[in-house]
Amino acid sequence: MTEEPSGSNTENIEDDDWHLYANAGYGAAESVEAETSVEEDEDTEEEWFDGDDFYHQGASIDWDSPPCPAPLGIAHVIKIGVCDFCLHRIGGRRTKSQGFGGGAELRNEAYARDSELTKFETPEICPLCEDLFDDVGNIVERIIHSVDGVGFKSMQLGIHLPKDLLQSEDAIRTKHGSQGSRPLKASFAQAIQDEMLLRSPEISFVKDYPDIMVTVDTLTLRVDTDVRPVFIYGRYEKLVRGIPQTRWPCRSCRGRGDGCESCEGTGLQYRESVQDIIGDPVKTILDASDTSFHGMGREDIDVRCLGSGRPFVLEIKNPKLRELELSLIEDKINSNDPEKVKVNSLKWCNKKDVSRVKETRSEKSYTIRFRIDKPITEEEAIESIEALSGVTLEQETPKRVSHRRAAKTRKRRVTTISNVLVEGQEIQFSLRCEAGTYVKELVHSDEGRTSPSVSSVIDRECEVLWLDVDEIHAD
């Protein structure tokens, strides 16, 4: 009896953290910046006075000037050298234009009020944004380039800004900006989003579960794109023995590099798996990079899975195509290796269904056939075996899995036993039992580790010939 390695698929399961960090600072414009505003205000200001970074054109910051939109406030932020974009952002005045244009309007109005202000020429760099808003067009170009050829509808932006810039911006804005001015990070994300929408109006920007996650590092202007996976739920039938459920790396080389002699360079212990028979055609048709396979439990390699099949979720990574008629996908899968694996009931699902499917425990029906070491009358066999119907088994962790499971005794109920068939020294029967029952052990007793067992009630050695899963009573 062969066993698949435990957790062979777990390295593919991503956690949910990505969208937590990615979401920081984008979308929730009002609340997100709380971390750098109220509580830290005092400290930040103190640090501020210690430094000498904030002299611009000979004018140090005048902490006593009123905040925008007061004319003196606007005059003051012009003196310290804010760019037009930031002037508009924190000015608190209605303008005809937005962004740089709006700031230019405010600047010209201020110059008209006080011509002395024109002496404060454009500074080298804006103390609020370090001229970040000049890069918006460039960043948008990079984003568009990075998603070239990828089909998607929704996008989430994550912006990484240096913490010290965020802190100093926050200190100036909360002191001199008009009340409710948008923080730097949210404004910057909005500026990128607005520019993106000019180019591709059909994109929707979301805070959760985007098709594409884009992170922008403002220090390097590096843009990283993460195409989120798509998920398909379905049920599979495994019609032959000898195929593992998931891809199983070669025991000798562990699937590293170019494989080895024993796996003929494939890196695989078994050339085929349910995962790849289902996943390969989907990978091709959606132009994806790889798949992960999440089954509702798994059968042993030598066990077939029949009936309506075993529920699974196929995770398709980096798909260039995210939408397709499921009947088309089903046809592709079912024509890949129809003698071996078939699927039904496909539907698009999401990441949450992965844990739901993996955690569901349901009753199963099996048929098992075994050989006994000495003859028995049909009546005795049928009577003894049927008597196990309704019995609760005590099963110690089987020897065959003890290397990867903690030793413990579990109680599992046999719901029904039916169709006992005696053919010479071979016996076959069907049963329905609780999730997690070791069915082979129920028959051969695993040297007494399972009690009672077929072997104990008929007082014969039993050698299991084959086992089929007839039905998984789930979903």
Enzyme catalytic residues: 300
What are the DSSP E strand ranges found in 203-340? 204-205, 212-217, 222-227, 230-238, 290-295, 303-317
How many Å apart are CA 49 and CA 374, to the nearest integer? 95
Q: Is 67 exposed, middle or buried (0-12, 13-18, 19+ CB in 10 A)?
A: buried
Contact 111, 118 (CB under 8 A): yes
Nearer CB in complex with Zn ion: 128/274: 128
Q: How far is the CB of 132 from Zn ion (least distance, A)?
A: 7
Q: How far is the CB of 182 from Zn ion (least distance, A)?
A: 12
How many Å apart are CA 236 and CA 475, to the nearest integer? 13
In the complex, the residues that contact Zn ion under the rule CB under 5 A are 83, 86, 126, 128-129, 250, 252-253, 259-260, 263
Nearer CB in complex with Zn ion: 252/355: 252
Give the HSE-up count for residue 437: Cα atoms under 13 Å, Cβ half-sphere: 28
How many Å apart are CA 137 and CA 405, to the nearest integer? 56
Q: What distance lies between CA 405 and its chain's CA centroid? A: 27
Q: How far is the CB of 191 from Zn ion (least distance, A)?
A: 11
| 3-class state of residue 59 by DSSP | strand
Nearer CB in complex with Zn ion: 126/443: 126
Q: How far is the CB of 168 from Zn ion (least distance, A)?
A: 12
Q: Which distant-in-sequence residues (6+ apart) come within 8 Å of 97 by Cβ?
A: 104, 105
Nearer CB in complex with Zn ion: 78/232: 78
Nearer CB in complex with Zn ion: 129/462: 129
Contact 431, 366 (CB under 8 A): yes
Residue 340's region, left for phi above 0, alpha for psi from -120 to 50, else beta, is: alpha
Q: How far is the CB of 4 from Zn ion (least distance, A)?
A: 16
Nearer CB in complex with Zn ion: 128/467: 128
| 3-class state of residue 234 by DSSP | strand
Contact 157, 24 (CB under 8 A): no
Helix (H) or strand (E) holding 295: strand 290-295
Query: Identity (one letter) of the amino acid at 19?
Result: H
Q: How far is the CB of 192 from Zn ion (least distance, A)?
A: 15
